[in-house]
Structure 1
């Protein structure tokens, strides 16, 4: 890469873990654990090394800037390029200067516990996303048209008033226009009802409106 930074070794990836509720029942040995559908964050530690014969400190500053100002929030491993980890936080640990020209450091990437498919962040037609072979996903719907419409997913409805374009983000539970203006008051219904279940799904939109779906496919 142009910064001259190399990964020393492939990082170990922690297994995802579901959040759970621990229930203690008087008179009963042990506890009962009730799992939820939420997956805990994971921390991926990556070891880096770099060499600079002329300006070691300037190279280090550039590396820090590259990591901390990274805007796409994706961690992609070269042996698993069809997927990415969604990065929530980056912590750069102490840099160890081995010799005058080289340095080594570790970075902790706090990520969502699920892996996301890279083609899942692209827009698709309804027919392309009705079958979900992965884990339950939180898609983004883009409705194109004018007037009042009903978006139906697996028999559950959300009504919307559309003026050209309306984006319904079920992950962030927001509705907005393409220019970013919030339109939460333009929809009525539960965002969670619009999730794509594992397996077959049925997605419908009122005739006269166009619908595009960004499925945000993910897996354990």
Structure 2
């Protein structure tokens, strides 16, 4: 199973690249932002709680996000793989994701990070805010706060995956197709690790 963590600050282009990767590799898109906005649209208690935090540029609590991800994994057990967009955002979330995927005899194949300078991110998000209708895309102070949250908390996740030799960084500025080609090159060259069950079976055979 191919499981990709697509990483980067808000405005880095993760959404655009996610859609192209889904089409090419037949992956299930797991965007915590989309899941939360769906809850907001439905007016659920979770949605109202999340909206207040998101409007302030803050992260939603781990237990809420992890619960949504686990539900999606359980409902898509026959999928070719997943692309995680906006998750994990913290090291504890990354550790929880490893635990979750292991329950389904799989794991994270690679993490690809799109790197973009802050001023370019602010420019992109303010432009997006003209059509997105999202309050956090229309206020420069909130945008910079979101980027700061990413830099001080979320970026630490890169180190977590680097220790597992799964981290790959790309310049997020350039033509969409060029960036997409670079991402695909990384994925195509990445040997997907064997499942936990396969590894255990091999170990048992050696012991025997």
Report the TM range for the smaller structure's normalisation: under 0.3
Larger radius of gyration: 1
Task: From the two aligned structures, give the one with the greater strand fraction.
Answer: 1
Task: From the two aligned structures, give the one with the greater helix fraction.
Answer: 2
Q: Name which structure has the greater RCO, CA cutoff 8 Å, separation 6+.
A: 2
Question: What TM-score do the two structures reach when normalised by structure 2?
Answer: 0.23
